[in-house]
Structure 1
Amino acid sequence: MTHIWKSLIADSKGAIDEHLDLIIDDLLIQSGSRLWRSREASCLALADILQGRKFGQVII
Structure 2
Amino acid sequence: MKNCPFCGGNEIGPCWNTRQDGNEITMMFCNSCGATGPVVIYKTSDDENRSAKAWNKRHNLM
Q: Which structure's residues are more often strand, by fraction?
A: 2
Is the structural similarity TM-score above 0.5?
no
Which TM bucket (shorter chain)? under 0.3
Higher Cα radius of gyration: 1
TM-score between the two structures when normalised by the length of structure 2 = 0.27
Q: TM-score, normalised by structure 1?
A: 0.27
Q: Structure 1 or 2: larger helix share?
A: 1
